[in-house]
Homo-oligomer: A and B are copies of this chain.
Amino acid sequence: MSAAKSTIKDVAELAGCGIATVSRVLNSSGPTSVETRERVLAAARMLGFQFNEVGRSLKNQRSKTIGVLVPSLSNPVFADAVQGIQQTASASGYNVILTCANYDEKTEEEAVTTLLAKQVDGVVLTVSKPDNSRALQLLDDQRVPHCLIFNQPIEAQRAAVGVDNFAAASLVARKLVELGHFNAAFVAVQFAQSDRSADRYVGFSEYYETCEHPRPHLIEVDYAPGDLEIALFNLFEKSPQTTALFASNDMLALGCVRALRALGKSVPNDISVVGFDGIAVADLVSPTLATVSTPCHDMGSKATQLLISAFQEDGALPTGTISLPFEFRSGESLGPAKSKNADGRGATRPSALSATPFVTKYIK
């Protein structure tokens, strides 16, 4: 039936009417006699007519497209969120243009620029530095509705949906302390690149301080293979009383479990490990990984809903962060602290600790 692309003009010609009429029929926007209506419909069907959305966008001044900017898709957390965005958008007749910035601010800015050039109706994004982002500035300037995900901007002017990283990390700390882990460490990759890691570290360490336990070490590692093992080895040299690790994400947590094994430590008998994010594999590996499961999919979904309802006239984006619920998921990587750790408690803080890079600047 259909061959190449046909336009509204072709349909009009075949139906023997004007293009205005075709538009009215196909959009049900305006009066049409039932008779012409049928002729138009028949003609459209015969030609396999589909609207050219580019022409439509130009005229309507809205593209029915949502721009998405995430750091990467390798991290399942973002992949899930994007999936949520895509589904929700698609359910409302919107398409998604996907861009990735690889944690690079310059790239973020460029990506937003091209999204704007494509006339996206709104943007869902995660940026490196939500409180000082050229990309966000661009969106503001052009008055394009946008909603952050994962990020928790401090200036609460901006729409955002995420989880309360502070509270979640605090909960992890509580769970650990309840099990007798008074000496813990926080392990992060690219700590400087991620405002989320920072929030988690603060929530984690503040809980420990409140309980008057030693503040957890902050261990920052590269993705370089072997780096993690060395870092952990050093940790145990300096703080042999450490009984628990809290990793800033699940992949890293898995890496920790593996590195600990390599160092001759048993998980969870010698050391417990807790991750963050709640990716699917956490339940598939052995030991299963204790983690905080976060609703990544829903985050994307929710942000998209907000955006779309803001598109309806008189709709406005809520200002401020919406926090979605998280859930602590225990797992085999988490056990009670060994009794000897009771000794560790209250031990004078070793002087070597000062060599460990505490990030006081992030403390609220």
Which chain A residues have a beta carbon within 8 Å of chain B's beta carbons? 2-5, 48, 50-55, 57-58, 63, 65, 68, 72-74, 76, 79-80, 82-83, 86-87, 90, 95-100, 111, 113-114, 116-119, 141-143, 251, 254-255, 257-258, 261, 280-281, 284-286, 288
CB closest chain-B residue, reference A72: B83
**CA A51 – CA B118 in complex, angstroms?**
9
> Are A143 and B4 CB-contacts (below 8 A) given A53-B119, A86-B98, A86-B100?
yes
**CA A74 – CA B84 in complex, angstroms?**
10
**CA A73 – CA B96 in complex, angstroms?**
14
Shortest CB distance A288–B (Å): 8
Q: Which residue of B5, B82, B255 contacts A98 across the interface (Cβ within 8 Å)?
A: B82
**CA A227 – CA B168 in complex, angstroms?**
32
Q: Which residue of B58, B72, B116, B288 contacts A58 across the interface (Cβ within 8 Å)?
A: B58
Contact status A117-B52, CB under 8 Å: yes
Number of copies: 2
Q: Within 8 Å CB of A97, what residues of B?
A: 65, 95-98
**CA A100 – CA B86 in complex, angstroms?**
8
Contact status A114-B98, CB under 8 Å: no
Contact status B53-A55, CB under 8 Å: no
**CA A286 – CA B273 in complex, angstroms?**
14
Q: Within 8 Å CB of A73, what residues of B?
A: 73, 79-80, 82-83, 86
Contact status A51-B117, CB under 8 Å: yes
**CA A2 – CA B288 in complex, angstroms?**
52
Query: Apart from A48-B141, A54-B57, A261-B286, what 7 extra A-B contacts exist at CB < 8 Å?
Result: A3-B141, A54-B54, A73-B79, A74-B76, A74-B79, A95-B97, A286-B286
Q: Within 8 Å CB of A113, what residues of B?
A: 50
